[in-house]
Structure formats: structure tokens, C-alpha cells
């Protein structure tokens, strides 16, 4: 079984495909889908759709774990854009036959670190430890996606740390 974690964003959508091993887990592929801020919203959403479709086609995950909405009241436009990105991600998963699960960021943080208010650095350290990754994880979006994928494997009963 493979799980893809998705940290949605218009500028950068982080993703990580993770599979369980007999002892631990392995990151098959990870990265960011970057969009050009100089392009129209439609072009940027199209980029996310096409690049994510390619990842799903290549790795055939059984489950997509999408970070649940995190909205700051003072930035309603950002919330609307995030909703559009999430819609494109959901459409991509549906078109590729991948089931979707959602997890709140505080739940992921709590499960990995013991605190629902853990910092990005604490998440990175936990993910590196759990997946036995030696190199630094440079992108917060990628480490968040790895954490989401780990939660998907754990909820499926295929991974324990």
C-alpha cells in the first residue's frame, strides 16, 4: 500500500508518497508543485492538476491524505484560493481513482510530537526520525506532506512508530 500526503497551497503544494516497510517506512517520492505567481489563477490550478496527475499515475497510491482546511479570518481571499486548490486536488484524486482522507493539522502535530501546537521544525525532526531520513528536509510543505502520509498509513494499520 502507498499513501500520498498533500499539503495544499497555491504557490506550493507539498506532496510525499510513502509506503510501509516491515520495519518503518520509506519515502518513494516527494516534492513541491510550484506555480508561477505571474500566471492566471486558472493556469496555476492547471499546473497543480497536471503535475499531481503525473505523480498519481507514476506511483499509484491507494490513499490520499489531504491536510484539512486551516483558515485565518483576516485573510478571506487566501481561504478562497485554498478552497480552489483543494477542489482541484480532490478532482485529480477522483479522476485517478484515489480515495481521500482529511486530517487536521493539530491532530498530525499531536500524534507525531505529543503537542498540537508543535512547530514546523519539530514536525521535520519527528518525520526524519520516524522515517529514518538522514538529510535535512528543506521544505516545510514536504515535511507536512510526509507527516500526513504517515498518519494515513497509521490509520490504515500499516505503520506504527
The 8-class DSSP code of residue 63 comes to E
Predicted local confidence at residue 75, as pLDDT: 79
State the pLDDT confidence band at 161, using cuts at 50, 70 and 90: low
Query: What is the Cα–Cα distance from 74 to 72, expressed in whole angstroms?
Result: 6
Q: Does residue 161 lie within any of the structural domains? A: no
**Structural domain containing residue 78:** 3-155
- Among 7-11, 20-24, 28-32, 83-87, name the one with the lowest average pLDDT: 20-24
Give the mean model confidence (pLDDT) for residues 44-48.
Answer: 98
Instruction: Return the CATH number at 121.
Output: 3.30.420.10
Closest to 82 in 3D by CA, of 69, 94, 67, 65: 69
Closest to 30 in 3D by CA, of 129, 115, 135, 126: 135
pTM: 0.95
Q: Does residue 39 lie within any of the structural domains? A: yes
Q: Does residue 148 lie within any of the structural domains? A: yes
pLDDT over threshold 80, residue 2: yes
Q: Answer for the pair 142, 32: CB distance below 8 angstroms, yes or no.
A: yes
Amino acid at each position: 500500500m502507498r499513501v500520498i500526503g498533500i499539503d495544499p497551497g497555491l504557490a506550493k503544494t507539498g506532496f510525499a508518497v510513502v509506503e510501509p516497510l516491515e520495519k518503518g517506512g520509506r519515502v518513494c517520492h516527494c516534492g513541491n508543485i510550484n506555480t508561477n505567481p505571474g500566471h492566471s489563477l486558472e493556469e496555476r490550478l492547471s499546473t497543480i492538476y497536471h503535475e499531481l496527475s503525473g505523480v498519481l499515475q507514476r506511483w499509484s497510491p491507494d490513499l490520499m491524505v489531504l491536510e484539512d482546511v486551516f483558515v485565518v479570518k483576516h485573510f478571506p481571499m487566501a481561504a478562497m484560493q485554498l478552497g480552489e486548490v483543494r477542489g482541484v486536488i480532490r478532482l485529480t484524486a477522483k479522476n485517478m481513482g484515489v480515495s481521500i482522507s482529511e486530517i487536521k493539522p493539530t491532530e498530525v502535530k499531536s500524534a507525531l510530537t505529543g503537542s498540537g501546537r508543535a512547530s514546523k521544525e519539530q514536525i521535520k525532526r519527528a518525520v526524519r526520525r520516524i522515517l529514518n531520513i538522514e538529510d535535512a528536509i528543506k521544505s516545510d510543505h514536504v515535511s507536512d506532506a510526509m507527516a500526513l502520509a504517515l498518519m494515513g498509513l497509521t490509520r490504515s494499520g500499516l505503520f506504527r512508530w
